Amino acid sequence: MSYRVRGLDPAPFAHLVGRSDAELAAAGVRRLVVDRAPGFPDRVTVSDLPPGETVLLLNYEHQPAPTPYRARHAIFVGERPRAALDLVGSLPAALLARPISLRGYDAAGEMVDAVLAEGAALHGAVERLLGDDALAYVHAHYAARGCYAALIERA
């Protein structure tokens, strides 16, 4: 089965780029300097940003469905302009390098299934979840901190 991994559209975050630290703080956002790699996975590119770059740490609603599974959590978004990841048939290195929680949702936003996987096993776990016709999409989360990582859907 072919699947697609998508990063977040950068447009909703563009108004935050270049703001002062005080303006960001007023919006509940923090600017950080990447000091190690891996460690600061950008949700637009679904990649670890290199040391020296700046990222915005902000709260993001990744599961807006009006169900008990509605969710928001902290994410990193790099300040340099980049295109959103749209990768078909493979997984980005930032996902393969960490334990990942895969959460499968139906079209109404109800969680139907979930699994933990990492490394080479992640590909099979994605295919197994998307092989279930009851699932409409999968959210990948970095398992250690629970942060949303990317959307995975059938290609």
* Rounded to 5°, angle at Cα 101 from 99 and 102: 130
Helix then strand then coil, in percent of the chain rounded to 5, is: 15, 40, 45
- pLDDT for the residue 137: 98
| pLDDT for 17 | 95
**How many other CB atoms are found less than 10 A from the CB of residue 78?**
23
pLDDT digits (tens, 9 = 90+) for 16-32: 999 999 999 999 999 99
113-118: average pLDDT: 98
Whether the per-residue pLDDT at 58 is higher than 80: the answer is yes
Assess whether pLDDT exceeds 90 at residue 1: no
Confidence at 108, pLDDT banded by 50, 70, 90 = very high
C-alpha closest to that of 78 among 39, 122, 34: 34
Long-range contacts of 10-19 (CB under 8 A, 24+ apart): 10/44, 10/77, 10/81, 10/82, 10/83, 10/84, 13/44, 13/56, 13/58, 13/77, 16/56, 16/58, 16/77, 17/56, 17/79, 17/81, 18/79
Mean pLDDT in the chain?
A: 97
Tokens of 143: 């398992």
Q: Where are the domains of the chain?
A: 3-154
Q: What is the mean pLDDT of residues 130-145?
A: 96
**Across 7-22, average pLDDT:** 97
Averaged pLDDT, 70-90: 96
The tokens 């302009």 sit on which residue? 81
> Looking at residue 9, what DSSP letter applies?
P
Q: How many residues are there in the chain? A: 155
φ and ψ at 148, to 5 degrees? Answer: -60, 135
User: Taking the model in full, what pTM does it have?
Assistant: 0.95
Q: How confident is the model at residue 46 (pLDDT cuts 50, 70, 90)?
A: very high
Token pair of 83 as six digits: 């295109």
